[in-house]
Amino acid sequence: MCVDKGRGGLGVADLERRNCSLLGKWWFRLGDGVEGLWKRILWEKYYGGRKEADITSVVNWNMSGVWKDIMGLGRGSERLDAMLGKGFQWKVGNGSCVDFWHDKWVGDKPLRILFPRWRRGCVGRGVGEEEQFRELINRVRLHKEEADTWRWIHSGDGVYSAKRAYDFLSSKCCILDEKWSRVIWASYVPSKLSVFGWRFFLNRLATKDNLCRRGVALPGGNVCCGLCHEDVEQLQHVFCHCKPVWLVWMKVLGWWGVQSALPNDVFGMVDAVVAGINGGSWTDLGPLIFLVTAWYVWFWRNLKVFGAGERFEERILDSIQSKSFFWLKNKEQGCSFSYTYWILRPLECKKAIVQHGRNLRNYKRLYASADRVQVQGAASMLL
């Protein structure tokens, strides 16, 4: 649930990651080189004012509980260590703010850690170490007119923000391919249908197979499909292999004038239906029609399981057409055609929606350019 929508989640904020990303701001502010009374107090109280105390690795016993928790954020998690402990570095300008040995300004560690023997004198230096040392130092050039900057290496401009840190912590979490997330969260799809699609793609619907796996006792131990009673009720069977459902998909594709064989797997079937309805270019109509159809297939299955769906098969296509038109009408401003036209000429309706989208984009582009011209004209008059 806490994974981003584009990666297969519901986009609910993870409070632990959010808290860590907010606390990480203190790491950035403590080392950014900007003077402040609170910094001097912390340096004197916890580090004795000594530059040898590396804030990214030292957690002293005499620290307050709050500051100890902030400084210990990077421990115990590789992702947090990459964000905080290894995520900050000096970008050298004129070199006035950078401590040669103790700050991290070249490589991924301070020089006192990379070359510990060099601080104690020349004894024991190896030829290989000296070449490595020279190679590291020669990477950096001083610029007298440019100030040193404290950078966060995971952003392009080097500026740390809580939002960027949260995105970084969440970037490795991925449940679904972006293509399927695009289907789930298409603009024409209402929220309850998106949640249904999310459960569909993650195989979280309450099929009899899933119920048995969760330890739910079924009446009589019956695990057969509620629609055809021929095979075990799994997601793959209900939406792909079940003969009555296959006929529903053929009716929907026939309504859109698509003649195509459906693959035997769920994701292949989704791809075929969405691509067949969209045609050569992407629109949000394909995801809408697919999810509405899957929604009513599942609704029909529930009616059959609970003994109330004997006549629903006859009107399932009408329900798909009416509900898709209703949701489209509420979401799309360019939906100016009638319900009858939607049923009889769906391809013409799609062309009208696509053309309206193009006109709207062109209008916004012209409006933005006109605003720029007005601003430039006003600026020239002032000058």
Q: Which residue has the tokens 């986009």?
A: 11
- CA-CA-CA-CA torsion sign (361, 365, 367, 371): positive
Burial 103-112 (b: 16+ CB within 10 A, else e): bbbbeeebbb
Mapped onto helix, strand or coil, the DSSP state of residue 11 is coil
More confident residue, 104 or 345: 345
Residue-wise pLDDT for 281-332, tens only, equals 778 888 999 999 999 999 999 988 887 766 788 889 999 999 999 988 888 7
Assess whether pLDDT exceeds 60 at residue 57. Answer: no
Mean pLDDT over 161-183 rounds to 81
Lowest mean pLDDT among 162-176, 177-191, 234-248, 289-303: 162-176
What is the rounded (10 degree) CA torsion for 86, 134, 115, 156? Answer: -10
pLDDT the model gives residue 294: 94
Write the single-letter amino acid at 233.
Answer: E
User: In the prediction, which pLDDT does 38 show?
Assistant: 80
- If one compares 30 and 77, the residue with the highest pLDDT of the two is 30
Is residue 126's pLDDT more than 60?
A: no
Instruction: Assign 197 a pLDDT band (cuts: 50, 70, 90).
Output: very high
Give me the pLDDT at residue 52, please.
44
Report the alpha-carbon distance of residue 372 to residue 204 in Å, rounded. Answer: 50
**Quick one: pLDDT band at residue 249, thresholds 50, 70, 90?**
very high
**Structure confidence by residue, pLDDT tens digits, 213-244:** 888 888 888 889 888 888 999 999 999 999 99
Out of 48-57, 71-80, 142-151, 365-374, least confident range? 48-57
Please tell me whether residue 58 adopts helix, strand or coil conformation. Answer: coil
Reported confidence tier of residue 47, pLDDT bands at 50, 70, 90: low
Question: How many angstroms from the chain centroid is the CA of residue 26?
Answer: 26
> In DSSP terms, which residues pair with 224 in a beta bridge?
232
pLDDT of residue 282: 77
Do 277 and 290 touch, CB atoms closer than 8 A?
A: yes
Q: Which residue has the tokens 């998106």?
A: 194
DSSP structure string for 31-54: HS----HHHHHHHHHHSTT-TTS-
**DSSP secondary structure string, 350-366?**
HHHHHHHHHHHHHHHHH
Residue 44 has which token pair? 């004197």
Average pLDDT over residues 254-281: 86
User: What pLDDT does residue 254 have?
Assistant: 92
| Mean pLDDT over the full length of the chain | 79
* pLDDT of 18 higher than 70: yes
Q: What is the pLDDT of residues 77-118, one digit of tens each?
A: 666 777 776 777 878 888 777 777 777 778 777 777 777 766
pLDDT band of residue 4 (cuts 50, 70, 90) is: confident
Q: Which residue has the tokens 């401590």?
A: 99
**Tokens at residue 126, please?**
């190896």
Is pLDDT at 279 greater than 60 in this prediction? yes
CB proximity list for 320: less than 8 A, separation 6 or greater: 252, 289, 292, 293, 296
Q: Please compute the mean of the pLDDT values over residues 194-206 and round it to a whole number.
A: 91
Q: Where are the domains of the chain?
A: 5-105+140-170, 178-332
pLDDT for the residue 53: 45
- pLDDT for the residue numbered 59: 57
Which of 95, 100, 45 lies closest to 67, judged by CA? 45
**Tokens matching residue 133:** 């040392």
Phi, psi for residue 41 in degrees, rounded to 5: -65, -45
Q: Does residue 376 have a pLDDT over 60?
A: no
pLDDT at 371 over 70: no
Among 176, 156, 178, 181, residue whose Cα is nearest residue 168? 156
Cα–Cα distance measured from residue 337 to residue 347, given in angstroms and rounded to the nearest whole number: 12
